[in-house]
Amino acid sequence: MAAVTADQTTQGTLGTQDVADADRVAAFEAAVAADERIEPRDWMPDAYRATLVRQMAQHAHSEIIGMQPEANWITRAPSLRRKAILMAKVQDEAGHGLYLYSAAETLGTSREELLDKLHAGRQRYSSIFNYPTLTWADVGAIGWLVDGAAITNQVPLCRCSYGPYARAMVRICKEESFHQRQGYELLLALSRGTEAQHAMAQDAVNRWWWPSLMMFGPPDEASSHSEQSMAWKIKRHSNDELRRRFVDICVPQAEALGLELPDPDIRWNEELGRHEFGAIDWDEFQAVLKGNGPCNEQRISQRRRAHEEGAWVRDAAAAHAAKHAPAQSSTRTPAQHSAPAHHVEETA
């Protein structure tokens, strides 16, 4: 969508302004209805912008906080291969945070502002990362279930109405697929290993299964933002719809892994054409959301510490950029432009 931009503000009487506003709203709604992408310079309702900033910020925060539980196991990975895979995965998550903070910046909100809100507890990240990683098998369970749930949630976001968010999600989803597969493969190796390894894999699945189901958010009837987000095509499916899809995907995978899902009520419903499953403990979900999960304190204080300890890196990067800024300007001669700086120095 490019027809209506924020620059096209109508000057004139209040009546003319009202007509112009109505036109802009109509153009925005028509673009959304036609499945066109809204781009940063397009006019958009304030509430649409605010909803996107809130969702993208929460998503970005989840990516970087999510690095912590798994990074906990990098030094104790059981082989060089596993260590290399885990390091690459954790690094991918940092990259996802970067794409998403950048996408949020296109809406006029700086990364600094969003990080300040995260550190002050004014914006959230996914509650799943407030659970501890107690054994090596947790790295597998996170890949299989947590990254798996993330993919189920995020694939529809590749068609989200806001262009920069949708495009960031395309790349993120490709990387998340690798994460999910490495987790599955790790769990498979443990499940087929010794009795103790199998038990460790089962214990990890027991602990991560229910929190993974909670990742889809509250049930539809209790989800405050869902309806408007669906109308704006930011969200394409309801929380419960995605949760059911995830359960349907996981049941045969658990069977192939030789592991049990810790829910005696899971069964195939022929009539509905999907699995039924047991009741989710929403009190636990609310408690973790309110800051009373096992690791809430630890995660946010570690994040604040990492941010403070990284101040010199940000300062150095800013100083480097400032130092090299004049070299980018048009004050250089054409000859200087054609020769890389290091080449000039070496031959001088």
Residues in contact with Fe ion by CB under 5 A are 63, 93, 96, 147, 176, 179
Name the minimum Å distance from CB 260 to Fe ion: 24
For residue 276, what is the enclosing H or E element? strand 274-276
Q: Which is nearer to Fe ion, 96 or 207 (CB)?
A: 96
Name the minimum Å distance from CB 169 to Fe ion: 10
Q: Which is nearer to Fe ion, 38 or 160 (CB)?
A: 160
Tell me 275's DSSP state: E
Q: Which is nearer to Fe ion, 42 or 63 (CB)?
A: 63
Cross-strand pairs, 162? 38
What burial class does residue 14 get, using C-beta atoms within 10 Å of its C-beta: 0-12 exposed, 13-18 middle, 19+ buried?
exposed
Name the minimum Å distance from CB 49 to Fe ion: 24
Name the minimum Å distance from CB 326 to Fe ion: 38
Q: Which is nearer to Fe ion, 42 or 211 (CB)?
A: 211
C-alpha span between 250 and 59 (Å, rounded)? 23
Name the minimum Å distance from CB 179 to Fe ion: 4
Name the minimum Å distance from CB 84 to Fe ion: 16
Please give the backbone phi and psi of residue 212, each rounded to the nearest 5 degrees, phi first.
Answer: -65, -40
Q: Which is nearer to Fe ion, 4 or 90 (CB)?
A: 90
Name the minimum Å distance from CB 249 to Fe ion: 16
Cross-strand pairs, 268? 275
C-alpha span between 186 and 210 (Å, rounded)? 20
C-alpha span between 207 and 213 (Å, rounded)? 12
Please give the backbone phi and psi of residue 68, each rounded to the nearest 5 degrees, phi first.
Answer: -65, -50
Q: How far is CA 245 from CA 127, 172, 250, in A?
A: 20, 20, 9
Half-sphere exposure for 2 (CA within 13 Å, toward CB):
0
Please give the backbone phi and psi of residue 5, each rounded to the nearest 5 degrees, phi first.
Answer: -115, 160
Q: Which is nearer to Fe ion, 25 or 249 (CB)?
A: 249
Q: Cβ(210)–Cβ(283) under 8 Å?
A: no
Residues in Cβ contact with 343 at an 8 Å cutoff, skipping those fewer than 6 apart:
none
Q: Which is nearer to Fe ion, 96 or 243 (CB)?
A: 96
Name the minimum Å distance from CB 93 to Fe ion: 5
Q: Which is nearer to Fe ion, 1 or 137 (CB)?
A: 137
Tell me which residue of 61, 46, 71, 43 sits closest to 132, measured CA to CA: 71
Q: Cβ(136)–Cβ(73) under 8 Å?
A: yes
